Amino acid sequence: MTTTAPQAATAPPLPSAPRGSGRSGWFQDLLTGLRFAFGGGREGWSRTLLTAAGVGAAVAVLLGAASTPHLLAERAARGDARTASAVRDPGSAARSDSTVLYSTTESDYRSETIWGTYLKAEGNAPALPPGLPGLPADGEMYASPALRDLLGTEEGALLRERLPQKIVGTIGDAGLVNPRELLFYAGHDALTPGEAGRTEGFGLASEGDDLAPSLVILITLMCVVLLTPVAVFIATAVRFGGERRDRRLAALRLVGADRPTVRRIAAGEALGGALLGLAVGGVLFLALRPPAQYVEVWDVGVFAGDLVPDPLLGLVVLLGVPLAAVLVTLVSLKSVAIEPLGVVRHAKPRRRRLWWRLLLPVLGVALLLPFSGDVGFRDVMYSEYVIGAGSALVLIGLIALLPWAVEAVVRRLRGGPVPWQLATRRLQLESGSVSRSVGGITVAVAGAIAIQMLLGSMHEDFIKLTGQDPARAEVGVATNHADGELAQRMIADFRATEGVRKVIGTVNVYATRPGPYKGDIRPTTELHVADCATLRELARIDRCEDGDTFVAHSPDEEMNAWVDQSARPGKPVNLGDNPEDAGFSDHEPAGEILWTLPADSPVVRTRKDPGGNHRDGIYVTPSAIGKELERAPAMTTAMIKLDLSVPDGVEHVRNTAAAIDPTMRVTNFIAVTRDRNYASAQTALMVGASVLLVLIAASLPPLLRMTRPDGLRTE
């Protein structure tokens, strides 16, 4: 019997992963990764959702940043639309059915600024500002929603005294720059062509101020600093849960997939999380738009309709985020050897190369170096991209240097307590993931330091001394035009106001040299009427009694010569109209009003008033001038010292001013002032930094998850 030895059974070949070539292979591998992202069970879904949450938060911020051009354009358009257009000289232009007299005003109420316009129709079809259904009648007012709400609260009780008009409607969104703006339009029949402007309509395109070169650099750097951490955060988010992904990739190697294939599959898995993150970010952006108009950040508010991403910038976000996810994954896996039995790492990792990490910040510094000295407008006019690229290279270079620096430091650490040894050993084995997890925060901190240094270096260029002295008076008040009798009564009203300690008030009249004059410009000075206490605040006067007069000289000798041509002791001055001014005066004609300056009027030297000005001209005490002042076209100024122990003293002063004349100008004296564009840049920085801090806070839970034992890579 012949027996045949059984043949050895041949094991079936291991199934090999499909290997495509060219574009079709790439596409097939990416689709496989997408299937793992959305069909890989609980672990696959958890990683995908974690990535989508991180990418979604960053995408929402990027979409908000991409909306900035549209937002600014809409704000500017609404501001221009309510600006009076076709403005003409009220004294020479004829009125029509569509013309409107207007007077704008600005008033502070505690920490808020209230903007207003008083209107008076001159015909049956008056032009209307945007957002108004009709022109308010005398004693009526249209208010913005925020102002209407404030006036209806107990907090706005003092403001209600200042704005007693009946609210007959609400200003529409078309007439507001932002939803929290405090704005009103009020009817005021007391407006006259001599005191108000005249317009045929509203809508005047304004020309923006040219930014200083240093501000261009600052704003460009701000954009880079605020957006680079967002990009870093996206790169970090697509690598969440990488240890679980690597185990799945090792299983793919076990069935025959080669290394390039598993990298492309990993890129497809990251692409799935990024695409879901795009959707999450879009939904989050749309969900946050409506409530955004009810929130103010550093006194900046927006309408929901203004948050519309620029098409080009939106396309960059739409394409850039998925592309970044793929590239980051491919680059990160170059240093990882994924084998069939697991993720293999050398016990002694290869040291990171320094040269290319230094190259990035060096190139950035080289690009920024030409702007380190004094630069002009032409130097930066077309260089925003160069400045932005240089700043980005420096910040990205810091991210690249961080892993090398951590590795160089921890390599030399030995000994210590057990927790310390475990931590240092962890960093010695693989410090890259730890460095990457804080890369965005590192960039944000480094950028903030750079911006603060830049702000500090240019601070003095945009902060200027006003010359005003708030220690002598905190508030200044001035009328447009008033007769002398009314001006004197106004000073008395301010002195009787609650919270007022002292009033430095003067009645001011232009005084010209009367009679025929052959020169081009008639000698003119100003006559100031006040009591002795006030005059001593304006000039160095040793002796003063009611009835005295003085000729005041300032430190400007050229102006003193001009004063002496007008103020001639023993000679008359004209306090009224000159013959050549007929038809050009912006007040009711007063005719010639002569008053003689006493021959014994001494010359005194002026001192700065609390407003920082030297007032030269003629100083007159009240009893030294009679009926002439009552008939003269006078103005009044008052500088008011407050009793700081009285709450809301300045608000009582503003209320008194509004009761006398709603269009009266009331200003606060301050020692220093900031350039408007510089202040706007600082506000934008604060808003952007606040949003960035929210994003960093949102990134902390995923980062904490990465530090758990199941989130750490096994070495």
Convert the pLDDT of each residue in 145-189 to its tens digit: 999 999 999 999 999 999 999 999 999 999 999 898 999 999 999
Partnered with residue 105 across adjacent β-strands are 116
Q: What mean pLDDT comes out for the span 323-347?
A: 65
Last residue of a domain, which of 150, 172, 202?
A: 202
pLDDT tens, residue by residue, 574-616: 988 776 665 445 555 557 889 999 999 999 999 999 989 999 9
- pLDDT surpassing 80 at residue 659: yes
Q: Is residue 468 part of a domain?
A: no
Amino acid code (one letter) for 706: M
If you count DSSP H runs as helices and E runs as strands, how many of each does the chain have, helices first?
21, 24
Q: What mean pLDDT comes out for the span 510-539?
A: 88
Q: What's the pLDDT at 148?
A: 95
Q: What's the pLDDT at 346?
A: 43
Q: What's the pLDDT at 168?
A: 96
pLDDT tens, residue by residue, 233-248: 777 777 665 566 666 6
Token pair listed for 97: 């059915």
- pLDDT surpassing 70 at residue 93: no
- pLDDT surpassing 80 at residue 474: yes
pLDDT tens, residue by residue, 369-409: 776 655 554 454 446 677 777 777 887 787 778 778 777 78
- pLDDT surpassing 70 at residue 251: no
Indicate whether 279 and 149 sit together in one domain: no
- pLDDT surpassing 90 at residue 619: yes
- pLDDT surpassing 50 at residue 525: yes
Confidence of residue 17 (pLDDT cuts 50, 70, 90): very low
User: In angstroms, rounded to a whole number, what is the distance separating the alpha carbons of residues 422 and 335?
Assistant: 23
More confident residue, 295 or 125: 125
Indicate whether 602 and 697 sit together in one domain: no
More confident residue, 262 or 176: 176
Rounded to 10 deg, the angle between the 259-292 and 242-254 helix axes is 150
Indicate whether 511 and 649 sit together in one domain: yes
Indicate whether 481 and 615 sit together in one domain: yes
Q: Is residue 15 part of a domain?
A: no
Indicate whether 332 and 193 sit together in one domain: no
CB 598 within 8 A of CB 549: yes
Token pair listed for 608: 């700065």
Q: What mean pLDDT comes out for the span 257-271?
A: 79
User: In angstroms, rounded to a whole number, what is the distance separating the alpha carbons of residues 525 and 617?
Assistant: 5
Q: What's the pLDDT at 373?
A: 59
- pLDDT surpassing 80 at residue 209: no
CB 492 within 8 A of CB 534: no
Task: Give the least confident one: 117-126, 201-210, 358-367, 465-474.
Answer: 201-210
CB 654 within 8 A of CB 666: yes
More confident residue, 543 or 215: 543
Q: Is residue 8 part of a domain?
A: no
Q: What mean pLDDT comes out for the span 408-433?
A: 73
Mean pLDDT of the chain: 79
Work out the number of other CB atoms within 10 angstroms of the CB of residue 47: 25
CB 595 within 8 A of CB 625: yes
Q: What's the pLDDT at 84?
A: 85
The one-character DSSP state at 56 is H
* Torsions phi, psi for 15 (to 5 deg): -65, 135
Q: Is residue 16 part of a domain?
A: no
pLDDT tens, residue by residue, 30-47: 787 778 777 766 766 777
User: In angstroms, rounded to a whole number, what is the distance separating the alpha carbons of residues 45 and 39?
Assistant: 7
Last residue of a domain, which of 175, 202, 229?
A: 202
Indicate whether 144 and 238 sit together in one domain: no
- Of all residues in the chain, what percent carry a pLDDT higher than 90? 25
Q: What's the pLDDT at 655?
A: 94
CB 167 within 8 A of CB 201: no
Indicate whether 581 and 537 sit together in one domain: yes
Q: Is residue 6 part of a domain?
A: no
Q: What mean pLDDT comes out for the span 256-279?
A: 81
- pLDDT surpassing 70 at residue 552: yes
Q: What's the pLDDT at 11?
A: 37
- pLDDT surpassing 50 at residue 2: no
Confidence of residue 65 (pLDDT cuts 50, 70, 90): confident
Q: What mean pLDDT comes out for the span 3-18?
A: 42
- pLDDT surpassing 90 at residue 366: no
Confidence of residue 347 (pLDDT cuts 50, 70, 90): very low
Would you call 124 exposed, middle or buried from its count of C-beta atoms within 10 A (0-12, 13-18, 19+)? Answer: exposed
CB 551 within 8 A of CB 602: yes
Indicate whether 647 and 607 sit together in one domain: yes
Indicate whether 309 and 355 sit together in one domain: yes
User: In angstroms, rounded to a whole number, what is the distance separating the alpha carbons of residues 130 and 78?
Assistant: 8
| Extended beta strands in 513-589, E state | 524-529, 539-540, 549-553, 572-574
Task: Give the least confident one: 186-200, 570-584, 639-653.
Answer: 570-584
Q: Give the count of domains, the chain.
A: 3
More confident residue, 422 or 659: 659
- pLDDT surpassing 50 at residue 9: no
Indicate whether 236 and 327 sit together in one domain: yes
Integer CA distances (angstroms), 228 to 328, 391, 614, 692, in order: 15, 10, 51, 10
Predicted TM-score (pTM) of the model is 0.74
Q: What's the pLDDT at 387?
A: 75
Q: Is residue 539 part of a domain?
A: yes
Indicate whether 194 and 145 sit together in one domain: yes
Q: Which is it for the CA torsion 417, 419, 422, 425, positive or negative?
A: negative
- pLDDT surpassing 70 at residue 669: yes
Q: Is residue 469 part of a domain?
A: no
* Parent domain of 249: 25-73+211-462+677-710
Q: What's the pLDDT at 549?
A: 94
Last residue of a domain, which of 180, 202, 224?
A: 202
Indicate whether 297 and 440 sit together in one domain: yes
Confidence of residue 193 (pLDDT cuts 50, 70, 90): confident
CB 182 within 8 A of CB 115: yes
The one-character DSSP state at 110 is T
* Torsions phi, psi for 374 (to 5 deg): -75, 125
Q: What's the pLDDT at 400?
A: 78
Q: Is residue 470 part of a domain?
A: no
